[in-house]
Amino acid sequence: DGGITQSPKYLFRKEGQNVTLSCEQNLNHDAMYWYRQDPGQGLRLIYYSQIVNDFQKGDIAEGYSVSREKKESFPLTVTSAQKNPTAFYLCASSIRGVGEKLFFGSGTQLSVL
């Protein structure tokens, strides 16, 4: 089955700890995205990448970091600098670039212990 796989589904972070959320796609899409969703809210863009080894900040990049070493993978690290990390994190991809329809993973719920 082609799609986007996010793991883990639930993640807990201790204060001062960095955690990494995994996102893998086998759709052969060029572009990948990370969004944050707070309860009852819409999605806010954290980072996006339109090509391997290149990525751009979104609206709320502070406290987060990403890498795009492979076309299939776009991991997100939530660093200790992110003081309010509790949220639902969604990874998405599109065939080429921004403005196209997005394919989403099933999300990771991050909570702080």
Partner 1 sequence: SQQGEEDPQALSIQEGENATMNCSYKTSINNLQWYRQNSGRGLVHLILIRSNEREKHSGRLRVTLDTSKKSSSLLITASRAADTASYFCATVPIQGAQKLVFGQGTRLTINP
Q: Which chain residues interact with partner 1 by CB under 8 A? A: 4, 6, 35, 40-45, 48, 58-59, 88, 90, 92, 97-99, 101-107, 109
Shortest gap between Cβ of 34 and partner 1 (angstroms)?
Answer: 12
| Cα torsion 110, 82, 75, 99: sign | positive
Tokens for 83?
A: 């003081």
Shortest gap between Cβ of 101 and partner 1 (angstroms)?
Answer: 4
Residue number with CB closer to partner 1 (15 or 54)? 54
Shortest gap between Cβ of 19 and partner 1 (angstroms)?
Answer: 19
Q: Are 14 and 102 in contact (CB under 8 A)?
A: no
Q: Where are the alpha helices (DSSP H) in the chain?
A: none
Residue number with CB closer to partner 1 (5 or 80)? 5
| Cα torsion 78, 79, 80, 81: sign | negative
Q: Measured between alpha carbons, how far is residue 14 from residues 51, 69, 95, 105, 108 in Å?
A: 33, 27, 36, 25, 16
Shortest gap between Cβ of 104 and partner 1 (angstroms)?
Answer: 3
Residue number with CB closer to partner 1 (18 or 62)? 62
